[in-house]
Amino acid sequence: MSDVQPALGGAEFDGAGARVVEMPPKGMITLRGSPDEIGAAVADATGCAVPGQREITFEGEFALGWMSPDEFLLMCPRDEVGTCLKSLGETLAGSHHLAVDVSDARAVFSIAGPGAREVLARLCPVDLASTAFGPGEIRRSRIAQVPAAFWIDANDDIKLICFRSVARYAFDVLCGAAKGEPVGVLR
Amino acid sequence: MSIRLESGGRLIDRSKPLGFTFDTNPMQGYAGDTLASALLGSGQVLVNRSYKYHRPRGIVASGAEEPNALVGLGQGGRFEPDQRATTTELFDGLIAMSQNAWPSLGFDAMAVNGWFSSMMPAGFYYKTFLWPRSFWKHVYEPVIRDAAASGLPPKEPDADLYEHFYAFVDVLIVGGGIAGLQAALVAGRAGARVLLIEQTAHWGGRAPVDGVEIDGQPADVWIADTIAALQAMENVTLRARCMGAGLYDHGFALGYERLSDHTPGDGRPRHRLWKIRAGRIVTATGAIERPLSFAGNDVPGVMLASAVRDYVVNFGVAPGRRTVVVTNNDDAYRTALVLIDAGLEVPAIVDVRERSDGPLARECVRRGVRAETGAAVMKVKGGKQVAGVMLCRANGTGGAGALLECDCVAMSGGWSPVVHLWSHCGGKLLWSDEYAHFYPDPSRAPTGADGAPFVSTAGAASGCMASGEVLADAAEKGAAAVGAAYSGDLPQTNDIEELPMQPVWVMPTGALPELRAKMFLDFQNDVKVSDVQLAAQEGYESVELTKRYTTLGMANDQGKLSNINGLAVLSQSLGEAIPQVGTTTFRPPYQPISFGSIAGEARGGTFQPLRRTPMHDWHEAAGAYLEPVGHWKRPYCYPKPGESHAEAVAREVKATRASLGMLDASTLGKIVVKGPDAGRFLDMLYTNKMSTLKPGRCRYGLMCNENGFLMDDGVVARLDDDTFLCHTTSGGADHVHGHMEDWLQCEWWDWKVWTVNLTEQYGQIAIVGPNARKLMESLGGMDVSKEALPFMGWVEGELAGFPVRVYRISFSGELSYEIAVPAGQARALWDAVLADGAAFGITPYGTEALHVMRAEKGFIMIGDETDGTVIPQDLGLDWAISKKKDDYLGKRAQERSFMTRDDRWKLVGLETLDGSVLPDGIYAVGEGENANGQRNTIGRVTSTYHSPTLGKGIAMGLVAHGPERMGEVLKFAATDGAMIEARIVDPVFYDPDGEKQNV
């Protein structure tokens, strides 16, 4: 197997408001099905709790994000995608579901720093106040003109995913928003 | 002439002089000045020429309502026309140019328009320039546009940055006067997330100018204390220089923050557009003073009385040395007192009321000012500057009156609450006979999704005219915004009793036509009392129609000064009450906002998202000429140095057909469809039967919408019993996925089917040409023999060490493999294919070669052969329409009589008699003419290319009875009038038996 290339080769930018970094590709599996059935199966396989609406749960190197009433996103180490798919396939053999590898479909960014929330607030129609959006929360929204999802991980960094083909656009608008001085509203 | 006073000016810092230029003349102001106060302070009373008659115009107001003082601001990449001097903060080096004057502001050649003004009444343009028709576009419009132009468009790209900011609050308060501050204090203390925005750089509004005292101290003290208290609250955000631009449904509001207009080039964004979601919105937007309609009320030096005292108190600037105050209310007497306090002359107060002996009037008399009651201004004397006023009786016709010399007239027709934001999303108004203004009707507020009001008004915006009422109303509304009733103490104010105002819409009330033709209602659009009266006479009874006929209130001040006066004149002319006539519609933005702020980050490289395949960088490095396909950019061709695009395409086609080509096909849509009902679902989506497809096989399918028209096409691969992978067109993936989910979620919600759009997961590389199998074998790792991987089959495995799925499909007519590989490895595989392909002279080809090769094979292309009106039967694709299925999307529509008519235009091939290439989109002409006298058409070209393989032009087209007319020669009408002859032929030009792809 050849080396896996992130869309932008790991681009980085240091702005006044935040540092934007393209992260190494993660393993990602899209799960669609009855939330009870697939939730239980994936919780068994990974130890992640089943996330509620707009939530994301973490367990070791696994994360499980709520994407819609019938969709979860499982994140895992890249070399465990095959194992996870296999084990999920076995557990869910009798249930109507869809589990598919989407590890290459996306770019992942980290937005870190005191201005990180305001970087996103310049681009996303989402309430980013710490009282409204904290660790364990995930949002499916947009940044400027493209779809994106983001959450706050255990280190209090914001992680954002978007489709791979628009990684350059996403990085450029994130950098543009990270350049500016604080708006001074979100801390 | 206006002057800078020796002392005073609460907003300016005299230790910080600032230099600026107006029409290249160097001038000076101070930090804290607006451009308007600095111009007046420099003696510049004449600032503009009017739009239509090019009359000299001066500054009328001191804020957002200013109609006249619009300038071109800045230079080069920072030039912007139509900037309001009254809302432009002065900075060192500011460059302002007057507008709409030629050759100069002082001498304007177009002022002759004014001499003929009696010949240019309302509707003048409509009535005059109707004939001859062709003259409008070529003669009248260019001349009128030149004469009536306001600002010039900028010529250089905008040098500044702009940004958006999404904010979410419990309570948004618009307006930072004492009402807004009080409301914020109450809502903030209740713990709500509060955002308070103020359009100017200063808090407190006009209370300090009007001498308001709160709790025994000047308003400034209370304002400073309140700001400090609000700043100490974590839950309250204060933004000055941030205008509430518009209110919309669902608690959405736009705030327009001017970050660096006053510090250009400091690296900050120029404007920030706040997109605010608020639970409740309180508009504390104050009130605007109304002008009076007397002859010559537009002569420079005639100003709003409140503006006159603003300039004196805030900026230490006197608009004139001798000011006559004209009023119908007590408030304007404050202006007289301010002027006298500043040592300026007030020769008379002209009051239309017969009785004026309120406390303010008595104070003026005590200070020695002459008060003329029951009096009016008959007309203003002066051209570029007020020289005096002629007085007359208020209720007369304006006979000969006494001349009173002065250089400034301060007028006050009463106050109108700023109800714009309240009205933006549906708040209704009531008429106050007491104050002669419209004010918000709290019982008919804009309502949210829950049916509850989400907007309220506070202070003067509610119609409260005394500061005590203002603060009480604001406290109540601030509390209501957090769902409470206000119960605390209220600040005490020093309100002075005022006598009732007396509405006066035309001055004097019986003014003769000559005077009415010089009374301006809308200064910015040059609309006079006589214009509105004429409109009423001509039958324009609706205020909305009168507005459009006369252009009243249609300039970029949106009638902030003219609205009430204009509709009052209209209602008088119609003999109806003002509330029955009503107002025009208030629309956002409150003041114009910059295009840059609307665009935000959407400019330059991030104007639009550009989708890149994993091989995009390689294409660019290889010198590909890119074309947009959806949001993708795809290589059109790869020209070599010195090669034209046509030559490159021909080379790519020939090399592929002769040996080997490769194509980046990553943009193809790829949607996985899984579930026990997946086959049934796809049978409904595609015209042919997909459920009978065997795992390991592929089938080409057509997708129609409910109206039967072709929507998309592509190859479906069955991955296993439950799972299909649907390929879509490059531009169609998102639409098709949405289409699938729409049917699954809204119509067939009980079918067991899941879909995921996997377009981005895979890079896809097509290897095409007679040597394709040899290259696949050279890459190695899987059996790609005819037996193991026959035409229209697919296999999974490892190719050159990459995990791949290979489809044996062909859009070129050649032996062809399409290889799907995870996107993160696609570039590496691309490089490996290139390296191994060198032995066969592998040639990367672009979308144009792809198009040529598919056209040579007679394959249709969605968007070329289809245009939303074409059904599969038109394209001879009946073979792809299942006869065995009960239903599929579009089936019933295709059975409608129009769809089954035998004269529908159908797909054929076309060849010119001389081998030339037919122009694209060209029509075949038939006999006779249609009902419009146009020549009948019998067909059109849908795809046309030069075929390098065949050495001649080939085309496809839709022709009436086409397939029955093989061999016939049609005439196509070129745009230059020439007729081109082309013969109807079979659309499959190359390898009709498909021998090459099936080896």
Domain locations in chain A as residue ranges: 12-24+107-178, 27-101
Chain A residue closest in CA terms to B674: A98
> Is the per-residue pLDDT at A171 higher than 80?
yes
B835 interface with A at CB cutoff 8 Å: no
B830 interface with A at CB cutoff 8 Å: no
- pLDDT tens column, B117-133: 666 667 766 666 666 66
Enumerate the residues of chain A whose CB falls inside 8 A of the CB of residue B611: 163, 165-166
CATH number for B461: 3.50.50.60
| B394 touches B374 (CB < 8 A) | yes
CATH number for B543: 1.10.10.1100
In the block, tokens 């869309």 appear at: A7
- Per the omega criterion (within 30 degrees of 0), is the bond before B639 cis? no
pLDDT of residue B147: 59
Q: How far apart are CA B923 and CA B938, in angstroms?
A: 7
Binary contact (A165, B612; C-beta < 8 A): yes
- B809-828 residues touching A, CB cutoff 8 A: 822-825, 827-828
pLDDT of residue B145: 63
In whole angstroms, how large is the CA radius of gyration of chain B? 37
Binary contact (A168, B674; C-beta < 8 A): no
Question: CA B984 from chain center: how many Å?
Answer: 48
Binary contact (A100, B676; C-beta < 8 A): no
**Token digits for B297?**
């009320």
Binary contact (A185, B275; C-beta < 8 A): no
Chain B residue closest in CA terms to A163: B760
Enumerate the residues of chain A whose CB falls inside 8 A of the CB of residue B631: 166
Taking alpha carbons only, the member of B979, B711, B727, B972 closest to residue B865 is B711
Binary contact (A144, B168; C-beta < 8 A): no
Of A96, A132, A184, the CB nearest to B752: A96
- B216-255 residues touching A, CB cutoff 8 A: 237
Of A96, A121, A180, the CB nearest to B676: A96
Of B165, B613, B674, the CB nearest to A121: B165
Q: How far apart are CA A119 and CA A179, in angstroms?
A: 9
By residue count, chain B amounts to 999
Same domain, B662 and B686: no
Binary contact (A103, B610; C-beta < 8 A): no
Taking alpha carbons only, the member of B106, B99, B92, B107 closest to residue B35 is B92
| B361 touches B373 (CB < 8 A) | no
Taking alpha carbons only, the member of B201, B209, B199, B381 closest to residue B297 is B381
Q: Fill in the amino acid letter for B62.
A: S
Taking alpha carbons only, the member of B733, B535, B994, B168 closest to residue A125 is B168
Last residue of a domain, one of B707, B728, B758: B758
Binary contact (A125, B166; C-beta < 8 A): yes
Q: Most A CBs within 10 Å: which of B237, B740, B756, B758, as the mutation test of the A interface?
A: B756
Mean pLDDT (whole number) for A163-170: 98
DSSP letter at B741?
A: H
Q: How far apart are CA B179 and CA B469, in angstroms?
A: 10
Strands B661-664 and B762-768: antiparallel
- Regions of chain B short of the pLDDT cut 70: 102-103, 109-121, 124-137, 139-149, 400
pLDDT of residue B537: 92
Same domain, B685 and B800: no
In the block, tokens 């970050």 appear at: B259
In the block, tokens 């076995």 appear at: A90
Strands B923-929 and B194-197: unpaired
Same domain, B828 and B794: yes
Q: Does any domain span residue B252?
A: yes
Enumerate the residues of chain A whose CB falls inside 8 A of the CB of residue B263: none
Of A96, A165, A168, the CB nearest to B675: A96
Same domain, B659 and B772: yes
Q: Most A CBs within 10 Å: which of B160, B161, B162, B166, as the mutation test of the A interface?
A: B166
Q: Does any domain span residue B206?
A: yes
Taking alpha carbons only, the member of B735, B668, B728 closest to residue B701 is B728
Q: What is the dihedral of CA B490, B493, B498, B502, to 10 degrees?
A: -60
| A64 touches A50 (CB < 8 A) | yes
Same domain, B459 and B543: no
Enumerate the residues of chain A whose CB falls inside 8 A of the CB of residue B602: 144-145
Chain B residue closest in CA terms to A169: B609
How distant, in Å, are the alpha carbons of B264, B964, B966, B996 from that of B986? 67, 11, 7, 18
Same domain, B790 and B659: yes
pLDDT of residue A1: 47
Enumerate the residues of chain B whose CB falls inside 8 A of the CB of residue A33: 754
CB pairs under 8 A between A and B: 137
pLDDT of residue B51: 80
Q: Does any domain span residue B111?
A: no
Same domain, B660 and B774: yes
Question: CA B71 from chain center: how many Å?
Answer: 23
CATH number for B703: 3.30.70.1400
Q: How far is A168 from chain B (nearest CA, A)?
A: 8
**Token digits for A86?**
């296999």
B607 interface with A at CB cutoff 8 Å: no
Binary contact (B269, A173; C-beta < 8 A): no
Taking alpha carbons only, the member of B312, B292, B318, B305 closest to residue B45 is B318
In the block, tokens 């209130």 appear at: B553
Enumerate the residues of chain B whose CB falls inside 8 A of the CB of residue A101: 761, 822
- Per the omega criterion (within 30 degrees of 0), is the bond before A35 cis? no
Q: Reduced to 3 states, what is the DSSP secondary structure of residue B401?
A: coil
CATH class of A27-101: alpha beta
Same domain, B635 and B695: no
Chain A residue closest in CA terms to B616: A165
| B326 touches B412 (CB < 8 A) | yes
The DSSP string of B579-610 is HHH------S-SS---HHHHHTT-SGGGSS--
Give phi and psi for A14, each to the nearest 5.
-105, 110
Name, in order, each residue with C-beta under 8 angstroms of B692's C-beta and a sequence gap of 6 or more.
none
Binary contact (B168, A127; C-beta < 8 A): yes
Binary contact (A98, B672; C-beta < 8 A): yes
Binary contact (B609, A103; C-beta < 8 A): no
Same domain, B185 and B262: yes
Q: Fill in the amino acid letter for B824.
A: G
Binary contact (B822, A173; C-beta < 8 A): no
| B970 touches B938 (CB < 8 A) | yes
**Token digits for B443?**
């019982």
| B464 touches B415 (CB < 8 A) | no
Same domain, B737 and B809: no
Give phi and psi for B229, each to the nearest 5.
-65, -40
- pLDDT tens column, B479-522: 999 999 999 899 999 999 999 999 999 999 999 999 999 999 99
Q: Does any domain span residue B379?
A: no
Same domain, B710 and B633: no
Strand partners, B632: B611, B629
Q: Reduced to 3 states, what is the DSSP secondary structure of residue B93?
A: coil
Q: How far apart are CA B257 and CA B260, in angstroms?
A: 9
B164 interface with A at CB cutoff 8 Å: yes
Q: Does any domain span residue B113?
A: no
| B106 touches B616 (CB < 8 A) | no
Q: How far is A99 from chain B (nearest CA, A)?
A: 9
Chain B residue closest in CA terms to A179: B268
| B486 touches B500 (CB < 8 A) | no
Q: Does any domain span residue B170?
A: yes
pLDDT of residue B126: 64
Enumerate the residues of chain B whose CB falls inside 8 A of the CB of residue A70: 754
Q: How far is B682 from chain A (nearest CA, A)?
A: 16
Binary contact (A102, B193; C-beta < 8 A): no
Q: How far apart are CA B892 and CA B885, in angstroms?
A: 12
B598 interface with A at CB cutoff 8 Å: no
User: What is the tally of structural domains in chain B?
Assistant: 4
Binary contact (A181, B268; C-beta < 8 A): yes
Binary contact (B608, A103; C-beta < 8 A): no
The DSSP string of A140-170 is EEEETTEEEEEEE-TTS-EEEEEEGGGHHHH
Tally Cβ neighbours within 10 Å of residue B593.
19
Q: Does any domain span residue B969?
A: no
Architecture per CATH, A12-24+107-178 = 2-Layer Sandwich (3.30)
Q: Reduced to 3 states, what is the DSSP secondary structure of residue A111?
A: strand
**Token digits for B427?**
């708040």
Of B610, B632, B672, the CB nearest to A169: B610
Chain B residue closest in CA terms to A124: B166
Of A97, A124, A127, the CB nearest to B754: A97
Of A104, A173, A185, the CB nearest to B824: A104
Q: Does any domain span residue B743?
A: yes
Binary contact (A177, B601; C-beta < 8 A): yes
Q: How far apart are CA B753 and CA B726, in angstroms?
A: 14
DSSP letter at B450?
A: T
pLDDT of residue A153: 83
Triad B779, B784, B786: Cα angle to 5°: 145
Chain A residue closest in CA terms to B270: A180
**Biggest CA pair distance of chain B:** 114
Strand partners, A65: A56, A73
| B823 touches B761 (CB < 8 A) | yes
- Per the omega criterion (within 30 degrees of 0), is the bond before B103 cis? yes
Q: How far is A47 from chain B (nearest CA, A)?
A: 25
**Token digits for B717?**
């691969």
How distant, in Å, are the alpha carbons of B84, B303, B838, B914 from that of B906? 61, 73, 43, 24
Same domain, B182 and B277: yes
Binary contact (A100, B829; C-beta < 8 A): no
Rounded to two decimals, the ipTM of the complex is 0.97
Domain span at residue B272 reads: 162-288+416-481
pLDDT of residue A157: 85
